[in-house]
Amino acid sequence: MCMEIEEFRSIALFEGLTDDELAQCTEPLKELEMVAGSSLAKQDDFAYKFFIVLDGEVDVHRDFEFVASIGPGEFFGETALVKGEKRNARVTTHTRCRLACMMGWEFKTMTEKFPSVAAHIDAAVAEREA
């Protein structure tokens, strides 16, 4: 399903992009709707998707310990894709959620093509590893 570009204009990850650049970044995104309690990523699994929360909230657990909640406008799944490692956390939907996701190769293309997006991603990776 093609998503509306307007929905992504206010997301910090895409800050400073032109309309054309934003369209290029969001074109590969697919929309998912998940019920509360759905598993989105499993710790130690291979990573192949990047997610942006549009509506709702997801919970992040590492080694069965609660780490964080992620809400609208925030993203997850980037660390394993950037580092080429397995997932470092389990992510489940806390509420009913609407998400945008893209495959790992689309994520790699986006971050290579748009340095400002890559900088946001790298900052998140550094912050989440601290």
pLDDT tens-digit series, residues 8-67: 989 999 999 999 999 999 999 999 999 999 999 999 999 999 999 999 999 999 999 999
With beta carbons less than 8 A apart as the criterion, state whether 91 and 59 touch. yes
pLDDT of residue 88: 93
Q: What is the mean pLDDT of residues 106-120?
A: 96
pTM of the model: 0.94
pLDDT tens digit sequence for 69-83? 999 999 999 999 999
Nearest Cα neighbor of 79 from 114, 115, 53, 43 is: 43
Output the CATH code of domain 5-129: 2.60.120.10
Q: Please report which confidence band the pLDDT of residue 2 belongs to, taking 50, 70 and 90 as the band edges.
A: low
